[in-house]
Structure formats: C-alpha cells, structure tokens
Structure 1
Amino acid sequence: MTAADTQIERRWEQVHTWGPYGLLGIGALLAAVSSELMSAPGEWYAAGGLVLAAIVLQLWWNGTRSRRAGHGRIPSRAGTAYYVVRWVIAFALAWINPFFAFYAATGYMDADELIPGMWRRLGLFASAITVAGSQSGGLPPKSVAQWIGFAGLLVANSALQTVVAHLTEQEEQRSHQRAETISELERTNTALQQAHDENAALHAQLLVQAREAGVADERRRLAAEIHDTIAQGLTGIIAQLQVVANAPDLDIARTHLDRAAGLARHSLGEARRSVQNLAPVALENDGLPEALKNTVAEWGERTGVRAEFTVTGPAEQLHDEVSATLLRIAQEALSNTARHARATRAGVTLTFLGDEVILDIRDDGGGFDPLAVRERTGTGGFGLDGMRVRAERIAGHLTVESEPGHGTALSARVPLVRHDP
C-alpha cells in the first residue's frame, strides 16, 4: 500500500469514527431549533434518552473497532448488530423529529462494511425508509399526498442507493482483483529471484565441472602434443645423431648435426607452446583485457604482422575460468593465423555486452572454406574444434566466417560471469 493509499484509508477511518457523532449533533441542533415539532415534554425526554443511547452505542462500537486492530471494516455479526440497533435509534428519533434523519443517513455510509452479502441491500432499504419518511414531512405520513410523496421518495432513495451499492461492489471487486494481481506479481517475482539464484548457483557449479573437465582435456591434449611433436622431434634427433656417429666424412656429419639442432629447436618451441597453453601465466597479475593486449602485442612483434587490440563496453572482472578460456582461444587463433593465414594485419576485439562477453579475432590472410576443411579432415581443422569445445564448455559458442582470399573472422560469445569476490 502506498503512502497516498494509507492517507486515504486514515481519512475514511476518521469519517466512520466521527461522522455519526457529527450527523447526530446536526440532527439534535436542528430539532432543538424547530422545537415546535416536539410539543409534548415526553418527546423531549424520549429524544434526549435516544441521543444518549446513540452516543453510548457509538462509544461501544469505536472501542470494538480499536480492539479488532484493523479488522473493523470487515462485515461481522457485531457490525450487523451495531447497524441494526443504530437504525432502530435513528428511526425512533426521526419519528419524533424529521431532522434526525441526518443521523439515519449514517446507514448509507457504512452498510458495505458492517453487513455481509446481500443483507446490506436490506440495510440500505431500511435506512432509505427513515430518510424518505423525514423528507416527506415526517413519520408516519398523515395524508394521502404525504403517503404518495413518501412512496416516491422511498423509490428514489432506494434506486440511488442501489446504484451506489452496485458501483461500490464493482470497485471492491476491482480492488480485490488488483490486490490478487499484486500478490501474484510478488509471488512471481519471488519465484524469478529464486530461479535466478538457482541459475547462478548452477552456472557456478557448471564452471567448476568445466574446470575439472578442462583439466582432463588438457592432460589428454598435452599427452597428444608431446607424442606428436616433442616425442617425434626427439626421435628424429636420435636418428640424426646415429647417422652422425656412422658418418664417413665431416660434411655429412655437420649436415645431420644441423638437422638435429633444428629438430631440437622446433621441439623446444613446441614444448614451450604446450606449457603456455596449459597454464595462462598472463592472467596471474593482469585481468583479461590487459593480458590480451600484451598477448596481441607480443604476437605482432614476433610475427611481424600488424596487430591491434580493442576493448568496447565497460570492462568487468571476469571469472577465472571465463578469462582463461577466452585467452586460450585468442592464443590458438593467433597461432593459426601465424601458421596458415599469411596475413599482413590482424585484429582482436573484446566486447563487454550486457550479460555476454564477445571475443572477435580477424585477419586479412588467405582464408579457407570451413565446410571443405571439415569434410576433408572430419574436424573443424586448424584447432577450430578445440576452440569451439573451450567455448561450449562454459555455455558459450564459437562461430567462424572465412572464404578463400578474403581472410578469416572468429567470434567467441560466452556468458559474462563475474569474478568471485
């Protein structure tokens, strides 16, 4: 409930509390001014007693409302009894003096709050009888014309109150529906918040599982790379050295020694690359944007290719697994560019976009046909499957756009998961 609604509720409470006193006072004052309408002393005594009874009744009811602590505006048996006794007093006062119909009009104010269901229509009709009788000249009617006037006024008052009661009931229904809608929205918001919290916990759990799966994948990948590169290189070195040992002259020995040295350098480079891919040391002291900037700059100096790095959107501290995944994808993509693309320019862009992080790597190299490579090799080729698996491991995805002679563009989109505090 808003502050305005609370203020309106308070004012209505004041009207229901003090309104009957005010209307009773107006009726008593007008009755006293028109004293000729009460010629017998007994009527004065009766009116005074009834006014006192009305005051006592109102004091009792106000005390009951206070004890009910906010439930006084809900129809109840006590409210119905209060309404009936008040109507009897008002009817008796109006019978003595028509001006007491002001007090009888209190029945129009709170019938919907005191009388349950369809009985409130009967209560309104009873109040209309008292008011119409007073409007027609007092109760009881003393002539045919007064009876006709009383009947017409009764119909008019009843019709007016019926319309008002109908509109009031409709407003109550709308208020009840609004309250139910608000409650339903609150329950929905609570459920959405719970779902959001559960999703966050699930995502964190998935990241942990992805990290564990990534360790196993890295072990398998490293074992394969050692077998395919370093182990083969060492085998080649041994073979060359065996040739040197049996070489008939010095020139042949030097040739095979040069080959062995080249294989050793190549194997050393492969070992360094495997270790670098296994543990992204660039993230030890820097965030992902700074690590990517340094990686791109070092790659450009090493390859002689013009390389640029750009960050768009407000940078945020990412979860370690997200940062490591994107850095490794960038390293693998740049390595592919250096080995296969024959590019003169390359660009890396890191975009923070709402609840996503986007890593774009593009070059102006020779390009290739991704579908043809997949059909020929059964995989994405050029390490694309490895990059795609890395992205999918953290609920992201990798897209590749390339065409022979028109360069290559890779885009990795992953959820933005912030760093654990």
Structure 2
Amino acid sequence: METPIDMIPRRSKLDSIMANLRNFPPFRVSREALIVVSLFLVAIVGYIDYLTGYERPLLLFYLLPISLAAWFGGFLTGLGIAVVSIAVSMVSDVAAGIPALGFWNAGMAFVSYALFAGMLSKLRTLVGELDRRVQERTAALQREVVERQRLDQEIAQVADRERRRLGQDLHDRLGQHLTGTALAAQVLKDKLATRSAPEVTEAEKLVRYVEEGIDLTRNLARGFFSLELEADGLGVALEGLAENISERFAINCIFHGEEPIPVRDSAVATQLYRIAQEAATNAAKHAAAENIDIRVTADGSELTLAIIDDGVGFPDKVSDSKGLGLRLMRHGAALIGAALSVQRNGRSGTTATCKIRIPNHSESSFAI
C-alpha cells in the first residue's frame, strides 16, 4: 500500500475565498440615508402599533431602527432615534384610544433604549478596532511572506552560484592538479620500467589510483556545476542527467518526456532539474536502485515530474532531523509553488512526484 510521506499543498480554495472577502469593499451608508431609513422603520412600527392597539409589547420592535442608527451612525444618532421612537409610540397609543404612557414609563423606556444604543455603539467601536488590528496584522503577515519569498529566492540564487563555483573549482583546480599528478606518476612509472625496478607495480597502482581520483572529481564537478537552464532546455538537461547517472553509478537510468516541455521560466526549469537530480542521485547512492525512470508529462494545465526507481524503497517513517536531500527537494518545490510527494512504489522502490501548474495559452503570459 502506497503511503504518502510528504506533501506540500497548494493554496486552498478557502484561502482564495477569504482573500476575496477581505478585498470586498465594506458596506457604507451616508448619515442622511441612515436617518431616513431609521425614521421610516419607526413610522412602520408606530403604524402597526396604532393598528393593533397594544400598549407595551410593540415597544420592543422599536429596537430595530434604534439598532441600525446606533450601529452605523453612532450613539448620538441612536439616541435621537430612541427619542423619536418614544414620541411615535405615545402618539400611536393616543390615536388608538389607549391612555398615554406616564412620564415614568416613558422615561424608563427611554433609559432602556439609551443603554441599548450605548452598548451597541460601544460594540461597534470594539468590532471596528478589532477589524483594524486584524487588517494591520494581515498586512504585516503579507509583507513578511513577501519578504520571506524574496529571501528564499536570494538564498536559492546564492546556493546555485556557490554550487557552480564549487564545481568550477573542482574541475579547474583539483582536476587539473590531479591530472598533473597523474602525468608525473606516469613519467615515474616509465622511468622505473626502463630500469626494470621492482617498484613498477606500485607505480602502476599509483597511476591507476590518481586516474580514478580524476574520474571521481569530474563526476563530482558534473554534479555540482551545471549551467543555468534556459526555459526550453529542461528536456535536454534531464536527458543529460539520466546519462550522467547511468555512467556514474553503472545503472540503467532513462528519461521519458515530451518535447518541448511546456515550461517558460528558467528558474522553474532549474528547480525541477535540481529535484530530479537529488531524487535520482539518492536512489542510486542510498536505495541501491538498478533502474531509474525520469518522466515528465503534461496534462492540461498541470506538469508532472516523476522519478521512479526499483530500490529498497522509502521508509514508512522519516525523522525530521535526517534526510537533507528530502528537505532540499521540499524547499525547491516550495520556491516554485509546486506540490511534492515521495512515497513507496509498492513493496520496493520509491516514486517522487512533483506537480506544478502551467498556464494555458488563453491565460496571461506570466511564467510558471
């Protein structure tokens, strides 16, 4: 049974909905329109109060216009609508033939309305302050995310530059030094052979060891030093990677992919190459794989890079403190907004999959 080990999710639909809600313009109404609407509601409640003839139960319904006025217009606006509500209530009772409320009852109703308007206005103020703080915190988090993305890009550029520099040093300095050493050892072996010295065998071993060191240095330099990929050079680079893995580890590594691969960003192409390089190298070095397939497929707006091997298989549990290669693959996928998963391939072998969205021809020309 395949067990997914790691997954970097894409931005969820809920995040998009919340972002759209935050960008939705807030509801605003002018004070004049608010007063007109509130007075209209007071008139409706007063007319119903007149028709029903009830004395006190409808006092509760005057809270609706008072609430609107206090919430959107502030305490003073709500207090004014409360005064109007008391007056309309008394007028409707008199018109319906009901004895008017006493000043004590009217005063109690006014105090209740005033307290309600005050609490509602204070609640509105607190909600506005909370909303302001949330917006400020959201803006700060967005700035931090942008800054972190910028730093991640800079770190990736520095890492690639140092990688190329190290590969160049291995090739130009250490490689040339070992080549000179091999020539000197070959000259020494020839001189000893001319004299028929018994040390000729040891000299041959020395020459062989130095030549093996040259080959190892070249392989290391080839792994470290790779030119920055052009957007349309990913297929060629992956094919070269398969040939390098096959030659370096004496295994069967094959690349299967479409030509041309629909990637229009050199940074994305470089990170996909790094992920494939890390996965294939780990499979050959640590998983004892004999066959490795590097596949690139495009399905609509999604590009999939898969590295499949027949090695010992990925462990069910991986310690977070180990697995530098896996962390590098995660980081590379996160830089380009891709989804990375590494899972067992049945009873043996591992499948590393990296999926990234690619724009359609109908979409804008932004690179992935």
TM-score, L = length of structure 1? 0.44
Which has the larger Rg? Answer: 1
Greater relative CO, 1 or 2 (CA 8 Å, sep 6+): 2
Q: Which has the higher helix share?
A: 1
TM-score of the aligned structures, taking structure 2 as reference length: 0.48
